[in-house]
Amino acid sequence: MTTHKNLLGGPEPTYLPENEEAYRQLGEESLTPAEVAAKHPTFSLAWAMLADDAFEAGRVVESYAYARTGYHRGLDALRRAGWKGHGPIPWEHRANRGFLRCLAALARAAEEIHEQDETERCWQFLKDSSAEAYTELKR
């Protein structure tokens, strides 16, 4: 992975640690996102998948709850990784994608339940964290 020097003097990118066991359980073992979330509650990707599934099934409040859980677990992980509340969270780093997907899912569900301030805050947070994730996830 290439790290570029930040010429603007802002914080360095934050890279969450990988959870190979959780990825393996989702992939090779074909566990459901709910099973993986129960075994690895700090693994935001499982929460993002649950949020996406619930949203697609029309269960918006459930989607909101899953996204909020993954978002908060992701914030905890980011802080443990040295994040100070702002700065890049690169989309290209696989372990960051669960948090970024939860952030987008939270924005999407908040919009559906008419939480406009939260919707705008979450989309802006996503854009500020990773323009690439924002482009990919804001559809």
pLDDT tens digits, one per residue of 72-116: 999 999 999 999 999 999 999 999 999 999 999 999 999 999 999
pLDDT at 9: 72
Q: Does position 1 have pLDDT exceeding 70, yes or no?
A: no
Predicted model pTM: 0.92
Q: Does position 3 have pLDDT exceeding 70, yes or no?
A: no
Query: 90 — alpha (psi -120 to 50), left (phi > 0) or beta?
Result: beta
